[in-house]
Amino acid sequence: MNNSLNKKTIKKGMLPYLFLVLIMLAVVYLVNTLNTTVNVLDYNEFMNDLSTGKVTKLVVTPRDRAGTYEVRGTLKDYSKGEEFFVRLPLSNEVMRQIVNYSESQNFKFTTVADPESSSLLLIIANVLPLVVLVGVAFFFLNKQMAGNRSSMDFGKSKARLSSDKNKVTFKDVAGLKEEKEEVSELIDFLKNPKKFQKLGARIPKGVLLMGPPGTGKTLLARAVAGEANVPFYYISGSDFVELFVGIGASRVRDMFQQAKRNAPCLIFIDEIDAVGRQRGTGLGGGHDEREQTLNQLLTEMDGFGENTGIIIIAATNRPDVLDPALLRPGRFDRQVTVSLPDIAGREEILKVHAKNKTLGDGVTLNHLAKRTPGFSGADLENLLNEAALLAVRRNKNEITMSEVDEATDRVLMGPAKVSRRYSEKDRKLVAYHEAGHAVIGLKLRNASDVQKVTIIPRGSAGGYNMMVPSEEKLCSTKTDLLEEVTGLLGGRVAEEIVFKEITTGAENDFSKATKIVRAIVCEYGMSDLGPMQLEQQEGAAFLGRDYNKTRNFSENVAQEIDTEMRKIINNCYEEAKKIIKDNRKLLNLIAETLLEYETLTKEQIDYLVENGHMPEEKSDNLESMSLTSLREMAKEKDIKNYAKLNKTQLIEELEKLDNQSN
């Protein structure tokens, strides 16, 4: 099929060049004709020149119908491009004289057959110019019609038919067990509809996949198409919306007409919120084109017409802005929430994305899944890809835990700012700040586990503390939330106790703590104001619907909210102060170790708390070596400016030397 299409394309592409060659030949012929000077002679002049030996070349063409010979030739005194022409009687005597003179004078003499005696030549001479003209006219007319056809294709559907080239099945979708069960009924119906019709069951006309970005909504829809083995049309919601009113509605109609011809089939509309937003929410008037498109979609899904065998799957991460008419039974009957994966789901997703990667013995996917709460499937795929890129950059044959740690930090905080220079005072301040967070996390009973502490700057942060819940919970208690706030305040408390000074480094901590405390008071009803929801969870405002949203409390209650929030924050701050003061030795130990090693993992922190010192260094493991030991090794290997390099830079330089020696 593709070969025949390619041949047709090649032939169409050659036509313009063929016409161009013919035109060029005609131009060359005309130029040669215009550059030739023809002298017309009479019979006596020709016979005189022939008898006196002036003729050098003759071309004789008999014209039987006219009863004459047409003779062309040149004379000795003619210049280049000059010739004579004469008509002679068609008789044997004339031809005999010409032949005799040519033999005696030895000039070039040729005869040409009468063109009129050949029907083929006659046709070519008379019809070919007409064919060329018609062909040129047809070529330009076809070009014009093609342009008009493309301009009239506005109303055609842009839905594309999925090919089997990149077929996806349920085996390729991990961490969505319940979601796959919800959509598996669609596959059973498409394969065996009589089983459902026998009991009077009606299969859902539409399935709406909702959830945060990167959770696998589009991948799940592709897997449904791969499992069902039916035609699968996919289109984006933005493909319906155009400048001209009515085009989107026309595309919806055309899309369903195509689907009816290929039923049973699936239609997947990605980002349906682009066309399915609530009607009548535009300030100063609605969006006629989008609303007409939505009306047509609503009619096609559940109107007077029947769309038997057509199932629509749509995906969005903004279900709150969709029109209620889309979500009623008969349209999108089933709504499937594709949420972020839990620890078991993350491990399954990591296994899928690790199939084509070479992992070292120290990389445990279960341990990695525990360290990545809140990661979506796309985040996990990106994490392993970043780890693979780092391993290639470091000329390694496999991905080790060092690359996985670095990739996790890159996904969360961005690349390390190894070129940024800090004074020793700043390094010490950051070390105590992060150590303050770590101490609170270690000492509070319900606090999250400290997985990693580093003072290597990333993004806008001078360092950070990775803390994950000891176990994933469906909901949080008031104690959990208060201890989280106390942990966020630990950095500022450590600065105040150690340096008797406060800095701007706790800005992000305060932002997170304030949001949690406001939710405790206004949303969760966990404060002394009582079990009331005074505010709803903040989200992206939907212009027109949320623009004039009123508060659910008076000015007096607003003042009480501020007072209650301040009380909770102050209590948590005092609790953090007490913990830091009671564990000052642990604070100093972690901070001083951070200044030495720059990064501490959970295993190192646990060993440090238990034994009061770091585990013995292994000479073959650069990651576990202290900054001082790395600098001594760099000094021995004559690395320039080694004293100004941090741990990450020193490890990279030492690995480069090892690779060069190998």
Residues labelled catalytic: 434
In this structure, the number of other CB atoms found within 10 A of the CB of residue 607 comes to: 15
Nearest to 591 by CA among 506, 505, 462, 494: 494
In this structure, the number of other CB atoms found within 10 A of the CB of residue 222 comes to: 23
Nearest to 561 by CA among 528, 531, 513: 528
Helix and strand element counts for the chain (H, E): 22, 14
DSSP labels, 403-416: HHHHHHHHHHH-SB
- Tell me if 43 sits within 8 A of 86, measured CB to CB: yes
d(CA 189, CA 200): 13
* DSSP H or E stretch at residue 341: none
In this structure, the number of other CB atoms found within 10 A of the CB of residue 577 comes to: 18
| Structural tokens at position 49 | 């020149």
CA distances from 235 to 155, 158, 323, 335 (A): 15, 7, 19, 19
Counting every residue written for the chain, the total comes to 662
| Structural tokens at position 48 | 């005189």
* HSE-up (13 A, CA, CB side) for residue 409: 26
- Tell me if 384 sits within 8 A of 344, measured CB to CB: no
DSSP labels, 1-13: -HHHHHHHHHHHH
| Structural tokens at position 350 | 């990591």
Q: In a 3-state reduction of DSSP, which class is residue 303?
A: coil
d(CA 346, CA 214): 13
d(CA 299, CA 171): 36
537 phi-psi bin (left φ>0, alpha ψ -120 to 50, beta other)? beta
Nearest to 57 by CA among 93, 82, 37: 82
CA distances from 376 to 217, 366, 386, 425, 478 (A): 11, 16, 15, 38, 27
Chain-centroid distance, C-alpha 353: 18
- Tell me if 343 sits within 8 A of 373, measured CB to CB: yes
Nearest to 41 by CA among 55, 27, 53: 55
